[in-house]
Structure 1
């Protein structure tokens, strides 16, 4: 294989991976923003305090990054300003490599969000992936002078169209909900089922006796062994949901949510909750009165804040507390609506798409 063929293969591999990664995140820019906020929190504590001031702009930064991934990937493959494109991609992968190394080495952000919620990688897997990409991009950078400097007009037009479409998809996903939901709370999922292992968990027991180390399928009954560690053999069977909980002053109410017909209005941050469609939510809540459906307001807030909000809105519904991370994972809108039937997610709505009561009741007929 000659040098030009190798360069073409590298362009295809690097560009294809950038497009794939970017499209997954363009589908869910709010999820990318949530991940960036995690990094900004960690960096503000461990590196420099000014990172904290980036948090309000996480969504805008996230949109720029994910759209840039898609556009640069397309530009690299079709041959738009290749020298500049290789340099831009190189700078991006250096940035991503730093993030994944920081996550892996310091165990701070345990999921880099490289492929959104579609493909979960461990921090070290993410770092090794970026190192391989960095090597491939370094080869392109080293031989950048041998890349064509000509940009066909059709290629320039394609890059512009890609930019417009990517921005349009990102904007639509922000104003509505992701086109494709890869999370453990997607439509059709039974939350209580996802909270259970998919198969019996199997462990091996690492024990020490004297200077020798032994591994057992069961904890040894024989005395004289010193316990070292317990290793899970089938981690793929772990529950997909491990942190769901909803509670009030009377205690945990998760089982209540999983029984019967529920309409759950969710807010991940009440101080930042949009009031743009509160009138539609009010109409929905009032219209559900007397229906065989429990309406619940579930928020990452104190019970006092929740009760005060319900009183202000004159909603006669149950108010429950929840963890902010859980609410953000369930719903990419603040507020948003989730329809549950016996713990199964029937549908989710952005507040911009608040349904009518008749549409909700159709799920329970």
Structure 2
């Protein structure tokens, strides 16, 4: 804290970065809030250091290795699960239950304040004008260019660059060509839209590709949309389609956006009216062609309930620790000397 306290004070004063970034998207705090947080932590550290001899351990020496080992195993297992599967707690703007259009919107009153600068030339000399004084009615001035000057930086929407362009297969050219922008179509359609997301077809895990084929077939039968979103170039898409014929409709999107949408490659998102209804990594794509196909579209499970997930994780972590403490308590009770019957205290 002796290092971080003055460091965060300098950051708060100079403001070289917008926010702390310590907790990612889970908790965004300003630079001054970070400094105040470190003051509180610093005070707590001093108190703990001052009264350390008086602090009693929660577990005995004999039980400490059990609780320590369990804590390490739990932390490692939880981390591995979040890497192999989708994150248990998703704080990105494409989490289940998120409305993409809402996350793309920003109140104009809170947006960037900009000023248009017009550059005109007269007699070989260029001069800058604003919207209030530019010589629009003076023919002796020649317009050169317009620049946008940032006056005050405002808030940014959580989603800034979500844009999807369809790819159409041209039978004459024997290849894919750029099609229409289908962004608004995907976000405004109140029916179901399946988005198979693969930021790189070359790096895609193909182990469960048949499950995506089944999902695409189900969507076609039911009249739902199904697109494979990728940032791979057209020639890579053509080569991949030749090796793995699946009949997917492809669309282009930014690689960073696709990685933000879902970490699995590939992954599957289900949209309706711009809302993220559900999302699955490649190993958890349901069998939509089963008799429960329509039910699976509406099944949200525990993924929607943040506090429910938090309680489950806490119980998984805390209950074994409580059992160790209970075992320790019983051991202490059994070690106490037995009180003989009929014993009366002498006065």
Task: Report how many aligned residue pairs link the two structures.
Answer: 249
Quote the Cα distance in structure 2 between the aligned partners of 1:144 and 1:156.
24
Which segments of 5 or more consecutive residues in structure 1 lack a partner in the other structure?
A: 1-89, 207-218
1:289-346 residue CA offsets vs partner (Å, 9 max, x unmatched): 3221111101121122223323432222221122221111110211110001122111
Which segments of 5 or more consecutive residues in structure 2 lack a partner in the other structure?
A: 116-129, 135-147, 168-177, 300-347
Cα shift at 1:239: 2.3
Aligned twin of 1:174: 83
Going by fraction, where is helix more abundant, 1 or 2? 1
* Equivalent residue runs for 1:120-269 within 5 Å: 120-121=28-29, 124=31, 128=35, 132=39, 135=42, 139=46, 152-153=60-61, 154-197=63-106, 200-201=109-110, 230-231=151-152, 235=155, 238-247=156-165, 248=167, 249-258=178-187, 259=189, 260-269=191-200
Normalising by structure 1, we get a TM-score of 0.55
Go from structure 1 to structure 2 and tell me whether the alpha carbon gap of 1:344 and 1:228 turns closer, same or farther (over 3 Å shift). Answer: closer
Cα shift at 1:139: 4.8
Go from structure 1 to structure 2 and tell me whether the alpha carbon gap of 1:229 and 1:284 turns closer, same or farther (over 3 Å shift). Answer: closer
1:191-217 residue CA offsets vs partner (Å, 9 max, x unmatched): 1222112574367789xxxxxxxxxxx
Quote the Cα distance in structure 2 between the aligned partners of 1:138 and 1:167.
27
Normalising by structure 2, we get a TM-score of 0.57
Q: Quick one: which of 196, 221, 230 aligns to 1:290?
A: 221
Going by fraction, where is strand more abundant, 1 or 2? 2
Go from structure 1 to structure 2 and tell me whether the alpha carbon gap of 1:166 and 1:198 turns closer, same or farther (over 3 Å shift). Answer: farther
* Equivalent residue runs for 1:36-115 within 5 Å: 113-115=21-23
Quote the Cα distance in structure 1 between the aligned partners of 2:286 and 2:232.
25
Cα shift at 1:189: 1.8
Larger radius of gyration: 2
Quote the Cα distance in structure 2 between the aligned partners of 1:198 and 1:360.
40
Give the 3-state SS of the residue equivalent to 1:326 in structure 2: helix
Quote the Cα distance in structure 2 between the aligned partners of 1:189 and 1:137.
37
CA contact (8 A) 2:202 2:236 kept: no
1:2-53 residue CA offsets vs partner (Å, 9 max, x unmatched): xxxxxxxxxxxxxxxxxxxxxxxxxxxxxxxxxxxxxxxxxxxxxxxxxxxx
RMSD: 4.1
